[in-house]
Structure 1
Amino acid sequence: MASLSKPDAPRFDVDVFQNEYLAQGAREVNAIVTVTATGGGTSGGRPLTSAATAPGPGAAVVLVIDCSGSMEYPNTKMRHAREATAAAIDELRDGVAFSVVAGTHEAGDVYPGNGRLAVADRDTRAHAKDALRRLRPNGGTAIGTWVTKARQLFASRPEATIRHAILLTDGRNEHEKPADLQRALDEAAGQFTADCRGVGTDWEVAELRKIASALLGTVDIVAEPSGLADDFRSMMTTAMGKQVADVALRVWTPANAQVKYVKQVAPDVEDLTGRRVDAGTRAGDYPTGSWGDESRDYHVCVEVPAAAVGNEMLAARISLVLPHPDGTAEVLGQGLVRAVWTDDLESSTRINSQVAHYTGQAELADSIRDGLEAHRAGDLDRATAKLGAAVKLAHASGNEGTLKLLRKVVDVVDEREGTVRFRKNVSEADSMTLETRSTKTVRVKK
């Protein structure tokens, strides 16, 4: 374990959990890397208020609110969206740059307008909340234009290192081509992070997850519009606790070794493998976004050259780094992954508990996704089998949150064995909630 930090910044600790012992000829090395940031963001779930840690001129927030025609049904939906946006604005710290955008088949500046961001204080918060009264449902849905508008607004504040968006929609991206959305996401990736929320049940989980994944944010459902205010308030509180942006997980491997995959496995499952950016000889950076006081786990899998019994090697060096514009990078924390070849069967076949746990959590997410897809396709047998497997995995890992959601979709006969029956008349909200939150994991029990 190693950690480095500045006195006024979060402290980053990196811990590596693995079974370093391999059988003769074995090549795959697995490790769980736990990264913990403390002392710079939030404490007890609330932001610290010291001048050294509070976001101010270095932070910018854009709130993007769906104002398409469907937000009129029911007629309370738009009202709750306005109230939620106002609640989020109240959580802004003084000095934070912010803007409100109305999203339809285009993106319009609601406040302050003209491609600018306001600076949060008592007056601008009040003016922004007054401007929310102008939000009216009208038009279509083209989320790529919303993402592009947010990117342009953030670009007007190059000094802001923490750049965070909140995006709310109630429908599918029906008024632009998928390629247009993808292009907007490609251009925005790495420019800001975004938490995405779907209100009601007429939006598409996979579509919103794609947006949140590209922008290194979260995705969730708010089935009832009345729940929006609490959710927005919570998201903004978390955003205000972020202290360090654009942090990367750097993985160095020796000659003839290669990274098979890098996945975030807690608090959510997110595959980062395809986002690797070369960072010098035999090293690659994987983006992790912004950090406050929090802890995340990553599963790193490396393939090394096979070796004889008694040999050992450094399989990977894992560093948490903060890249600088001049091409240098500040190392915030570091850990090592080892490989030792042995002929002791007990040592080489022992699966590290952290690796086993998160492998099961990833399989749990896949089983839920496959089961719900099979159910939509009318394959009840496959759906029942997959969701039964999910129940068994959730029970074994102690993931009570996911097990509770599964029980709203299937009747559980035996959770230990994964014996289930699909429930009749499952609500769309329950099904979408399960799908949306399927990637949420639980930490290894100590």
Structure 2
Amino acid sequence: MTLLDFESDRLAEFAAQVRAEYDDLKAKNLKLDLTRGKPSSEQLDFAEHLLALPGEDDHTDADGADVRNYGNLKGIRDIRELWADVLGVDPELLIAGDASSLNIMFDLVSWSYAFGNNDSERPWREEEKVRWICPVPGYDRHFTISEQFGFEMVTVPMLEDGPDVDAIKELVKDPQVKGMWAVPVFGNPTGITFSEEVCRELAAMETAAPDFRIVWDNAYAVHTLTDEFPPVHDVVGMAAEAGHPNRFWAMSSTSKITLAGGGVSFFHSSRENLDWYLSLAGVRGIGPNKVNQLAHARYFGDAEGVRAVMRKHAGSLAPKFTRVLEILERRLGEYEVARWTSPQGGYFISLDVIDGTASRVVELAKEAGIALTGAGSSFPLKDDPNNRNIRLAPSLPPVEELEVAMDGVATCVLLAAVEKLGA
């Protein structure tokens, strides 16, 4: 019998029990944080050796250039060829940058806004309006970029194999629709991985805007929680085959593989797109941190070295995800007041509670000393029309703290549910 089926007397008794549990929770004076998907200290320690690389007297790349000097906007061949092997793409269509792929995404959007991209008839700032497709639930920082430029954000639902392509095909008939966000592997926050069919449909669909772009944020391409690595579909190649070579701006990085503030970012796209990007990047700066790029090439060695490091990360992360799922099932499963994803990789679990209660769950958790990502954060303008979605980030706390926090979250979900039911 679910909570929704309880008769009034039983519901009142259950509500009293949950309120007592919540009072006990607040009495613990907790200070726990499940807000951001940060690597734990244990994960950061995996890359400790990187801090000593490339090492004294090791400062020459595969082309014989001194990495300590200016230049080479594309990044050094050593790391580009290694990462291209990881992704299964052409290294000549891959640029290596500095630590943040989010910076590259912001540059691409802002330069299109200011100047227009290589397929634009005019700068986006001169358009009557710019509309942007946002699959939901999705990545809050993506939506913040769209918000910053005043774009009209149009949501489409995330399905089990990726975003609703039929809905997207209708939207792109509008020439004011200029772009779309995508996290195609172990998505944030759902953990969903796009199927090959969805990838090919997005690559092949016709769009009214010639300068339409899909920002393909492959942040979690190798972030498995198991021994299996998902296929990484070469959407740039798919789009070229379909006659839309400039469709994708694809990103990835080592930020949650090595050092979160000191990794290497990558931009994979068509030759024309890359030439346009480099023409502006050369005005903004003289070149990336090639010493750090060489250090990463030395640290990984090759693509299998990347996968070996990711198996260590899986060994650290998987037990945390397992405990979160176990607690959710044990505390909430029988009452059917919530549902959640069971990802095979990535950094997040997407939790849906009873409609209208997500903000109350977050509020109750805060009062009990448990910080959660704000309700609605996975939606544009932080507006979840159903007020049901909460993103959980299990990576940072030790397992012992995580267990306490998740048990507390479950209590908050139940208390918000009984309040909603009027008990």
**TM-score greater than 0.5 by the shorter chain:** no
Q: Which has the higher strand share?
A: 1
TM-score when normalising by structure 1:
0.29
TM-score when normalising by structure 2:
0.30
Q: Which has the higher helix share?
A: 2
